[in-house]
Structure 1
Amino acid sequence: MTVLVTGGAGYIGSHMVHALVDSGERVVVLDNLSTGFAWALPAAATLVEGDTGDEVLVSRLIAEHAVEAIVHFAASIVVPDSVADPLGYYRNNTVNSRNVIACAVKGGVKRFVFSSTAAVYGNPDAVPVAEDAPLSPMSPYGSSKLMTEIMLRDAGLAHGLGHVILRYFNVAGADPQARTGQSTRNATHLIKVAVETALGLREKMAVFGTDYPTPDGTCVRDYIHVADLIAAHMDALRHLRGGGASATLNCGYGHGFSVLEVIETVKRVAGVDFPVELAPRRPGDPAAIVASSEKARALLGWQPRFDDLDTIVAHALAWQRKISAEGR
Structure 2
Amino acid sequence: MEIIGNGFIARSLRPIAEKHPDTVVLAAGVSWASGVAAADFEREAELLDKVAKECVATGRRLLFFSTAATGMYGAVDGPGREDTPITPCTPYGAHKFALEEQLHDSGAEFVVLRLGHLVGPEQPPHQLLPALVRQIREGAVRLHRGAARDLIAVADVVTITDRLLELDLRSETVNVASGEAVPVEQIVDRLELRLGVTALREYRDSGTHHVISIEKLRSLVPEVARLGFSPEYHRGVIDAFVGSSVAA
TM-score of the two chains, using structure 1 as the length reference: 0.67
Equivalence for 1:124: 76
Whether 2:110 is the aligned partner of 1:163: answer yes
Alignment of 1:232-243 (within 5 A): 232-240=160-168
Alignment of 1:243-262 (within 5 A): 244-262=169-187
Q: In structure 2, do the counterparts of structure 1 residues 26 and 225 end up closer, same or farther at CA, with 3 Å as the change threshold?
A: closer
CA shift at 1:279, angstroms?
4.3
Aligned counterparts of 1:124 and 1:182: Cα–Cα separation in 2? 32
Q: Is the 8 A contact 1:306 1:312 kept in 2?
A: no
Q: In structure 2, do the counterparts of structure 1 residues 104 and 154 end up closer, same or farther at CA, with 3 Å as the change threshold?
A: same
Aligned counterparts of 1:164 and 1:15: Cα–Cα separation in 2? 18
Q: Is the 8 A contact 1:89 1:141 kept in 2?
A: no
- Deviation per residue, 1:98-129 (Å, 9 max, x gap): 222122223x1422211010132342111x22
Q: Which AA in structure 2 matches 1:234?
A: D
Q: Is the 8 A contact 2:150 2:180 kept in 1?
A: yes
Aligned counterparts of 1:91 and 1:6: Cα–Cα separation in 2? 17
Aligned counterparts of 1:228 and 1:91: Cα–Cα separation in 2? 30
CA shift at 1:302, angstroms?
4.7
Equivalence for 1:193: 131
* Unpaired runs of at least 5, structure 2: none
Whether 2:212 is the aligned partner of 1:291: answer yes
* Unpaired runs of at least 5, structure 1: 28-66, 175-180, 211-217, 324-328
Equivalence for 2:41: 90
Equivalence for 1:273: 197
- Deviation per residue, 1:77-112 (Å, 9 max, x gap): 222213xx2x22321332221222122223x14222
Q: Which AA in structure 1 matches 2:208?
A: A
Aligned counterparts of 1:286 and 1:71: Cα–Cα separation in 2? 32
SS at match of 2:3: strand
Equivalence for 1:61: none
Equivalence for 1:16: 13
Aligned counterparts of 2:74 and 2:85: Cα–Cα separation in 1? 9
Q: What is the root-mean-square deviation of aligned Cα atoms in Å? A: 2.3
CA shift at 1:68, angstroms?
2.9
Q: Is the 8 A contact 1:93 1:144 kept in 2?
A: no
Q: Which AA in structure 2 matches 1:105?
A: V
Q: Is the 8 A contact 1:169 1:224 kept in 2?
A: yes
Whether 2:1 is the aligned partner of 1:79: answer no
**Would you identify which runs of 4 or more consecutive aligned residues in structure 1 move more than 6 Å?**
none
**Sequence identity percentage:** 21
Q: Is the 8 A contact 2:150 2:212 kept in 1?
A: yes
1:70 pairs, out of 11, 24, 31, with 24
Q: Is the 8 A contact 1:197 1:274 kept in 2?
A: no
Q: Is the 8 A contact 2:82 2:174 kept in 1?
A: yes
Aligned counterparts of 1:143 and 1:265: Cα–Cα separation in 2? 32
CA shift at 1:263, angstroms?
0.2
